[in-house]
Amino acid sequence: MKINQINDFIYEISSEENKNMLVPARFYAHPSQIETLKKDDSLKQLTNVATLPGIVGYSLAMPDIHQGYGFPIGGVAAFDADEGIISPGGVGYDINCGIRLNLTNWNKVEIQKILGSIVNDIYNSIPLGAGKGSLIKINKNEFEKLVTEGIDWAIKNGFATEKEKEHIEDKGKLIVKDLNGVSDKAIERGISEIGSLGSGNHFIEIGYVSEIFDKELGSNLGLFKNQVVVWIHTGSRGYGHQICSDFAKEYQTVSKKYGIQLVDRGLACAPFKSKEGQEYYYSMNSAANFAFVNRQLIAHKIMEILENYSKKVKPLKFELFYDLAHNIAKLETHIVKGKKKQLVVHRKGATRSFPAKYIKGEFANIGQPVLVPGSMGTSSYILLGSENSLELSFGSSCHGAGRVKSRSQAKSEIDPRKLKESLEREGIIIKTSSLSSLSEEAPDAYKDVETVVEVVNNLRITKPLAKLKPLAVIKG
């Protein structure tokens, strides 16, 4: 496979590489990442996506690209809404896996003596790990309201505020016309896991602001040096997973029904405007709504826990900075060849990164926040959508560091006890129900987040606002 370098950070694979490709495959990367990229099938997957009906522009990948199911993780693909498709593999099994950042008014020095107790309380209060566990108990009727109304449901039930709603992508509610595509099994799994973290790369992290690159803007947005923050990384749990599983299976037949030739079964899809395409779209949206509420419930519980320590620190202010999705397909309007077109933009392990002119509300003049958590024990970043994102990536950016080692490889090569000891020597508290799973999320299993962020900032897909570092990490 011939890779053509367009400039320092833009690489392209010509559509001539594969007779089935409808558009070129383009990816954004640091030169130091290229040899690593060749070691898995992520670039092959990127070219495979370019064969799907209705794709426009390029099959794209962000600098955190790595191999996934069908579509690469870190992938972005936009399809004409009238002539193109929608694909579960282009969203992923964890629909609206996303990241949330809450700010406090506490300083890291103020919580040093109580941090261990806070971590234990969170660990013992939030359902963690694989399987069932829920912060609330509701019936099927109420669950269907939750996944249809999203954050509006949380507001009605006292778990969220109108102010928080303004700091959630799409205000925490995607359109759900009906739940006809959602199986009873998906609902059963969802009801038992509302307000739970899960396992894998999901985490709760207590961190602090280590550097602010634009001090005036940072101050206006409530940031200050050494400020204690809380990250929550999780998604739609078993509910979203079951929806993806159901449709990925069904679409093997559906693809054939519509005469779509698949070069990889992981690309199974349906025309977006078809009955099957619409059923997945609204089912996916319902799972996205579940995930927004899921993170909201976890944050609400953490706020209650922190409030118990106010007398030992000072009265708590706990405010949402932003909450966003990085596994989703969105119906958006973009300029294609000089004309406005409605597109179904798949972002799989990619974050929406709209510049100022595309954003309403508090971020209208500065761009959408792009939250980029690093791997466990490394820095994380707050970025803002910038002017080139629409032209280069359909308004998309990276979502994290991106794996360089598979989970099995990491487990075989990295000793979890030594890893935990190493992180604790750096002053980072680690709390997990599965010591062995730490190896899978070790810094060495991921790319250098600094390099990943450098790429999107240099391309002006984003601009940097702040750098954050961890104090404690809680995992399932």
Residues belonging to the active site: 399
Residue 336 to residue 32: CA distance in whole angstroms: 32
| DSSP annotation of 73 | E
Residue count of the chain: 476
Instruction: Find the helix or strand (DSSP H, E) in which 298 lies.
Output: helix 275-307
Question: What does the DSSP 8-state code read for residue 385?
Answer: E
Long-range contacts of 133-136 (CB under 8 A, 24+ apart): 133/192, 133/193, 133/196, 134/191, 134/192, 134/193, 134/194, 134/195, 134/196, 135/194, 135/195, 135/196, 135/297, 135/298, 135/301, 136/194, 136/195, 136/297
How many CB atoms sit inside 10 A of residue 444's CB? 13
Contact 11, 65 (CB under 8 A): no
Both tokens of 73, joined, read 């993780």
Measured CA to CA, the distance from residue 151 to residue 295 in angstroms comes to 10
DSSP-derived 3-state class of residue 386: coil
Residue type, 177: K
Partners of residue 381 on adjacent β-strands = 372, 467
